[in-house]
A and B are shown apart, each in its own frame.
Chain A
Amino acid sequence: GQNIDQPTEMTATEGAIVQINCTYQTSGFNGLFWYQQHAGEAPTFLSYNVLDGLEEKGRFSSFLSRSKGYSYLLLKELQMKDSASYLCAVRGGNRDDKIIFGKGTRLHILP
């Protein structure tokens, strides 16, 4: 079966660093995505990993270990506007396999 796990909620302080973990079990693997979604808005693309390692993009970084079925999203210098849900999503093994979304992690930023 297909399963994606991430924490339901996290809280962090403005200016700090937070790491959101995601573990997955899927039939094959063809890429992992992180999306940000503010309440009532559409998801917006943050990052994509298909090879092991760290991808850095400004304040956000994403890491992947395919052998462990594990990824994390690292957010640095947190700002109040980073309060949102963060969705981990995995594309299965076939080229046309659909993307499966995790349930999302609601991140609360405190001043």
Chain B
Amino acid sequence: DTEVTQTPKHLVMGMTNKKSLKCEQHMGHRAMYWYKQKAKKPPELMFVYSYEKLSINESVPSRFSPECPNSSLLNLHLHALQPEDSALYLCASSPAGESATDTQYFGPGTRLTVL
């Protein structure tokens, strides 16, 4: 298995809803990432988990809450979002081993629309 999977592919939610995005990889990677990408912009890093511990939080609002239940899974819990949070949310993973060639492999993304 050499891919990162994300569910759902599309999500439409209201500002009062609570939803979760899910990401899974079975490549034995020990680092996992959440990015947010707006149209025609590069990905913006949100969170990094390394060995199941949160290592980077890029000052993301608390309405986004990441969770890493185990080394293969990464969730992003959403609550009380704003319309400007509508974007493509990308999950990525990397080996996080001893090699410096720590390439990130991206999932297909979840297209989120907040009404």
Contact = CB atoms under 8 A, between A and B. Distances in A.
B42 A104 contact: yes
Q: Is the interface of A mostly helix, strand, loop or mixed?
A: loop
B100 A42 contact: no
A42 B107 contact: yes
Interface string A77-111: 00000000001000100011011011110100000
A74 interface: no
Interface residues of A, number: 23
Interface string B65-96: 00000000000000000000000101000000
Nearest to B45: A98
Interface of B: 40-45, 48, 50, 55-56, 88, 90, 100-109, 111
Interface of A: 30-31, 33, 35, 40-45, 48, 50, 87, 91, 95-96, 98-99, 101-104, 106
